[in-house]
């Protein structure tokens, strides 16, 4: 038995600086790319100013140029991973507040408003191509995800999922908000669920997207909009809701009934919602007088939605505070996949080593092992034998978590 | 000390049969009323068929004509209240699945889509006039609420709140979903909060409204729409979210900071969300590394949003299962206001007496007293002295809750 932990981060972000995506875009969309680029850059800057945090983020970035370039540079990235003791990590695209988002809204941060199918697919293909290349620089360490804007078109989605599997990617990310499209209980998505099950490609939803106009009253699209006090507080209080909704529809719609090996990960939405969510699903699924007015809404399911959750769903617990580790039995020790969110400013980097100890200190060895990497290694089929020498070199000492406090 | 409980139901529904609202509508809107009536009736029937529960509800209604007529008939209502041991109750308008909804979407079940300001105000005035009359038949028992479609127009809202106070109503109900309007953190609502505080008119949000197209994919508006499996399960799992959102915006926006005596009741959304909601508010309010990217979003508040909740907010716990009584310390024994939801089929009537015992059996006397009526009596300023003889006659025996199991 090793005295080091195998650490797998369930939440990393990688992507090129916006302009650098150009060569990865299909030639016929490069003119559109050139036209969209300055708008994308301006919107990102406006959003950064809107949050009034330009200075905070500038401070945070100071002296971190090399670490930040790990978003696109494999050797810079591996230096950070090594220092943080992270053997492998799941790779999402970058978020909207960063300067390196994929083109044409392909990172799903903005929903579908103002986008077209053709361009969003083109943006996703560009990012997925680059991600496939990036993964190939260290395939045993990089669990790369493909962006699949499934709402527009099911056959194209299946085609792109197949391409992703054939090109070294290990799962997909779907838009958590469906706008005016059908929600994820709709049977139209069945071919996608079938492909993901057959190819063993876990589906990911990642927090971030929201009905932004509710909070920000038109900003940043409208440069004159005034953002009321409380906008950010309401957003951070609700952000996990928009993440969890797709799962609620999949669970009740029977996706896991028809596709029992389908795998889903819910990432960066905290894990504190899990206990009450499971209790609520059980309560709603149980027969009660109070629900009878609604008729029989359960006969298409052979088990409770909470049981599908326990069987098919994992939680990507980025930015995980101590409280979530203390709730681990209610959440499920086998459900929690710790993550860094590197290189995002809300993530643990560059304080990962200390924050990880703070989160897990003095918990039983085997439980820490599950949460910091074992669960993710199982879920993604990580080649632990191949990683063993790396873990021996960079993995955090188990003893460093036992402070006896 | 009495051996009977003072029982106040925090959730009752009252309204005329749709056609009977005509004389309460301003004369200039009666032609519109006549045109809208058959559409309203047809949509209600279509919705009832959509849920495939026509038969269930017909069975439930059998032999209950007199009890059901308590929705609009004071003496029929009082018979039910007396039999159920309910001394006083809060009166909301009727919901969309019933045949007695106020005109022009004035019950807020449908959001604002397809409505106009002029007509929705006219519908609300009609309902509020009738409600004022209805309350006057037994003012000590009836805590009548005025429907205030505040989204359209703030001065008109303040005017109608003042009218409601002057005409015997005891609080207001606001639309929980704001559609394309500003959410409830916006300072434009301050005159409404000021009026409610100054007139001691508690604000109510009541569950029910939702982004229905997410669940029902166009039904019942589109008669050809096919409702996917899981629609109802997802709806009942999420229904409390749409109720809680307005409060999240009010808490973070500082409504209770600027108006410290403002009172809010959250009704028929269960109370099981409360403990995790408070923990989440505390977590989001506390300073953490993870939130620094968002800048300072707390300096306009002198205390945590969870503390405003504890001071200013009550929970109308209709259809309250045993589990919620068992969670009472986490929720707050002083926050829970039990309710019947009479005369709705998901409510406890006609089994209120037995279900109430099932929910509260063997709990400490003083805690039952708070939850079944004491909390509500305080919140609404019920005249308990005036009700004492009624309570002595109809109130449930305290001993009937002590089964020693």
Residue A3 in domain:
no
**Which pLDDT score, from 0 to 100, does residue B75 have?**
97
B97-140 residue pLDDT tens: 556 788 988 888 766 667 789 999 999 999 999 999 999 999 99
Confidence of residue B290 (pLDDT cuts 50, 70, 90): low
Count of structural domains within chain B: 1
A&B contacts, CB < 8 Å: 204
Q: What is the pTM of this model?
A: 0.95
Chain A interface, best mutation among B96, B208, B252, B341, by max A CB count within 10 A:
B252
**Which pLDDT score, from 0 to 100, does residue A293 have?**
61
With beta carbons under 8 A apart, name residues in chain B contacting A53.
292-295
Contact across the interface for B284 and A236, Cβ inside 8 Å: yes
Distance from CA of B166 to the nearest CA of A (A): 33
Residue B23 to residue A153: CA distance in whole angstroms: 52
Chain A contact present for B403, CB below 8 A: no
Chain A contact present for B236, CB below 8 A: yes
B205-263 residue pLDDT tens: 999 899 999 999 988 778 788 899 999 999 999 999 999 999 999 999 999 999 999 99
Confidence of residue B88 (pLDDT cuts 50, 70, 90): very high
What mean pLDDT do residues A45-59 have?
Answer: 67
Tokens 């194209």, residue? Answer: A156
**Which pLDDT score, from 0 to 100, does residue A59 have?**
73
**Among the partner residues B52, B180, B344, nearest to A295 by beta-carbon distance:** B52
**Among the partner residues B217, B241, B279, nearest to A182 by beta-carbon distance:** B217
**pLDDT higher than 60, residue A97:** no
Mean of per-residue pLDDT scores for chain B: 92
Chain B contact present for A61, CB below 8 A: no
With beta carbons under 8 A apart, name residues in chain A contacting B276.
272-273, 275-276
Return the C-alpha torsion angle A358, A360, A364, A370, nearest 10.
-160
What mean pLDDT do residues A206-232 have?
Answer: 89
Residue B183 in domain:
yes
Confidence of residue A197 (pLDDT cuts 50, 70, 90): very high
Q: Give the count of beta carbons closer than 10 Å to the beta carbon of residue A222.
A: 12
Angle at CA B89, nearest 5°, toward B210 and B318? 40
Chain A contact present for B351, CB below 8 A: yes
With beta carbons under 8 A apart, name residues in chain A contacting B11.
none
Chain B contact present for A276, CB below 8 A: yes
Using left for φ > 0, alpha for ψ between -120 and 50, and beta otherwise, residue B79 falls in: alpha
**Which pLDDT score, from 0 to 100, does residue A292 have?**
60
Give the sheet arrangement for strand A264-267, strand by strand.
Answer: A8-13, A88-92, A142-147, A171-173, A203-206, A264-267, A313-318, A336-339
Confidence of residue A54 (pLDDT cuts 50, 70, 90): low
Residue B3 in domain:
no
Confidence of residue B40 (pLDDT cuts 50, 70, 90): confident
Residue A294 CB-density burial (10 A; 0-12 exposed, 13-18 middle, 19+ buried): buried
Chain B contact present for A248, CB below 8 A: yes
Domain that holds residue A70: 8-401
What mean pLDDT do residues B180-196 have?
Answer: 97
Contact across the interface for B249 and A232, Cβ inside 8 Å: no
**Among the partner residues B178, B228, B321, nearest to A288 by beta-carbon distance:** B321
Contact across the interface for B292 and A97, Cβ inside 8 Å: no
**Among the partner residues B180, B230, B344, nearest to A249 by beta-carbon distance:** B230
B325-366 residue pLDDT tens: 999 999 999 999 999 999 988 889 999 999 999 999 999 999
**Which pLDDT score, from 0 to 100, does residue A138 have?**
98
**pLDDT higher than 60, residue B96:** no
Answer with the residue of higher pLDDT: B147 or B54.
B147
Give me the residues of A, 177-206, that contact B with CB < 8 A.
Answer: 178, 180, 182-183, 185-187
With beta carbons under 8 A apart, name residues in chain A contacting B242.
none
**pLDDT higher than 80, residue A118:** yes
Residue A10 to residue A341: CA distance in whole angstroms: 8
Is residue B155 a contact partner of residue B195, using CB atoms and an 8 Å limit? no
What mean pLDDT do residues A333-344 have?
Answer: 95
**Which pLDDT score, from 0 to 100, does residue A89 have?**
98
CATH of the domain at A70: 3.20.20.140
With beta carbons under 8 A apart, name residues in chain B contacting A213.
180
What mean pLDDT do residues A109-133 have?
Answer: 89
**What is the helix, strand, coil percentage profile of chain B, to 5?**
50, 10, 40
**Among the partner residues B273, B284, B290, nearest to A237 by beta-carbon distance:** B284
**Which pLDDT score, from 0 to 100, does residue B288 have?**
63
Residue B300 CB-density burial (10 A; 0-12 exposed, 13-18 middle, 19+ buried): middle
Residue B134 in domain:
yes
Q: Chain A residue closest to B53 (CA)?
A: A295
**pLDDT higher than 90, residue B167:** yes
Chain A contact present for B229, CB below 8 A: yes
Residue A2 in domain:
no
Chain A interface, best mutation among B47, B228, B258, B306, by max A CB count within 10 A:
B228
Element (H, E) at A57: helix A54-61
Residue B49, SS3 per DSSP: helix
> Which of A57-61, A191-195, B208-212 bottoms out in mean pLDDT, i.e. has the lowest?
A57-61
Confidence of residue B65 (pLDDT cuts 50, 70, 90): confident
Distance of CA B194 to the CA centre of its chain: 21
**Which pLDDT score, from 0 to 100, does residue A362 have?**
97
Residue B177, SS3 per DSSP: coil
**Which pLDDT score, from 0 to 100, does residue B22 have?**
97
A274-326 residue pLDDT tens: 999 999 999 899 866 556 666 678 889 999 999 999 999 999 999 899 999 99
**pLDDT higher than 70, residue A367:** yes
Distance from CA of B37 to the nearest CA of A (A): 24
Residue A166 to residue A172: CA distance in whole angstroms: 13
With beta carbons under 8 A apart, name residues in chain B contacting A272.
276, 279-280, 283
With beta carbons under 8 A apart, name residues in chain B contacting A56.
292-293, 295
Distances (CA, A) of B133 to A101, A248, B14, B377: 60, 43, 12, 22
Answer with the residue of higher pLDDT: A270 or A157.
A157
**Which pLDDT score, from 0 to 100, does residue B15 have?**
94
What mean pLDDT do residues B361-374 have?
Answer: 98
Chain A contact present for B153, CB below 8 A: no
**Which pLDDT score, from 0 to 100, does residue B74 have?**
97
Closest CA to A320 of A361, A281, A279: A361
Is residue B240 a contact partner of residue B269, using CB atoms and an 8 Å limit? yes
Residue B44 is classified by DSSP as H
**Which pLDDT score, from 0 to 100, does residue B42 have?**
84
**Among the partner residues B51, B217, B280, nearest to A186 by beta-carbon distance:** B217
Residue A375 in domain:
yes
Answer with the residue of higher pLDDT: B321 or B99.
B321
Q: What does the block give as tokens for A75? A: 């050797």
**pLDDT higher than 70, residue B280:** yes
Most confidently modeled of A287-296, B63-72, B171-180? B171-180
Residue A247 CB-density burial (10 A; 0-12 exposed, 13-18 middle, 19+ buried): buried
Chain B contact present for A57, CB below 8 A: yes
What mean pLDDT do residues B74-81 have?
Answer: 97
A12-41 residue pLDDT tens: 999 999 999 999 999 999 999 999 999 888
Q: Chain A residue closest to B228 (CA)?
A: A186
Is residue B15 a contact partner of residue B93, using CB atoms and an 8 Å limit? yes
Answer with the residue of higher pLDDT: A1 or B140.
B140
Confidence of residue A221 (pLDDT cuts 50, 70, 90): confident
Residue A220 in domain:
yes
With beta carbons under 8 A apart, name residues in chain B contacting A298.
233
Residue B1 in domain:
no
**Which pLDDT score, from 0 to 100, does residue A273 have?**
93
**Which pLDDT score, from 0 to 100, does residue A94 have?**
83
> Which of A131-135, A221-225, B122-126, B170-174 bottoms out in mean pLDDT, i.e. has the lowest?
A221-225
């Amino acid at each position: 038995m090793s005295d080091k932990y195998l650490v797998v981060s369930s939440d990393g972000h990688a992507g090129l600086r916006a302009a650098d995506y150009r060569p990865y875009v299909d030639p016929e969309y490069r003119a559109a790319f050139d036209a969209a680029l300055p708008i994308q850059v301006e919107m990102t800057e406006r959003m950064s100013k809107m949050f009034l945090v330009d200075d905070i983020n500038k401070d945070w970035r100071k002296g971190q140029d090399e670490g930040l370039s790990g978003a696109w540079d494999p050797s810079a990235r591996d230096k950070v991973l090594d220092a943080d003791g992270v053997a492998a990590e799941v790779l999402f695209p970058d978020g909207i507040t960063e300067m390196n988002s994929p083109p044409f809204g392909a990172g799903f941060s903005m929903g579908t408003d103002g986008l077209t199918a053709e361009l969003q697919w083109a943006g996703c293909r560009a990012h997925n191509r680059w991600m496939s290349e990036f993964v190939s620089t260290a395939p045993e360490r990089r669990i790369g995800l493909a962006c699949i804007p499934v709402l527009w078109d099911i056959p194209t989605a299946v085609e792109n999922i197949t391409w992703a599997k054939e090109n070294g990617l290990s799962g997909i990310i779907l838009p958590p908000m469906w706008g005016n499209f059908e929600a994820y209980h709709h049977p139209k998505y069945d071919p996608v669920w079938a492909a993901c099950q057959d190819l063993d490609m876990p589906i990911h939803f990642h927090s971030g997207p929201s009905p932004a106009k509710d909070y920000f009253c038109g900003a940043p699209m409208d440069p004159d909009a005034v953002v009321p006090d409380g906008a950010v507080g309401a957003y951070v209080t609700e952000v996990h809701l928009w993440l969890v909704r797709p799962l609620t529809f999949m669970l009740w719609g029977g996706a896991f009934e028809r596709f029992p090996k389908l795998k889903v990960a819910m990432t960066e939405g905290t894990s504190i919602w899990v206990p009450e969510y499971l209790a609520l699903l059980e309560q709603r699924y149980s027969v009660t007088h109070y629900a009878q007015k609604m008729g029989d809404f359960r006969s298409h399911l052979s088990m409770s939605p909470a049981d599908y959750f326990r069987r098919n769903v994992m939680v990507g617990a980025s930015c995980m505070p101590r409280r979530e580790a203390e709730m681990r039995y209610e959440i499920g020790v086998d459900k929690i996949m710790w993550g860094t969110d590197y290189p995002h400013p809300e993530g643990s980097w560059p304080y990962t080593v200390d924050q990880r100890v703070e989160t897990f200190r003095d918990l039983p060895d085997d439980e820490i092992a599950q949460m910091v990497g074992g669960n993710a290694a199982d879920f993604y089929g990580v080649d632990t034998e191949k990683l063993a020498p790396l873990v021996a070199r960079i993995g955090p000492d188990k003893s460093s978590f036992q402070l006896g406090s």
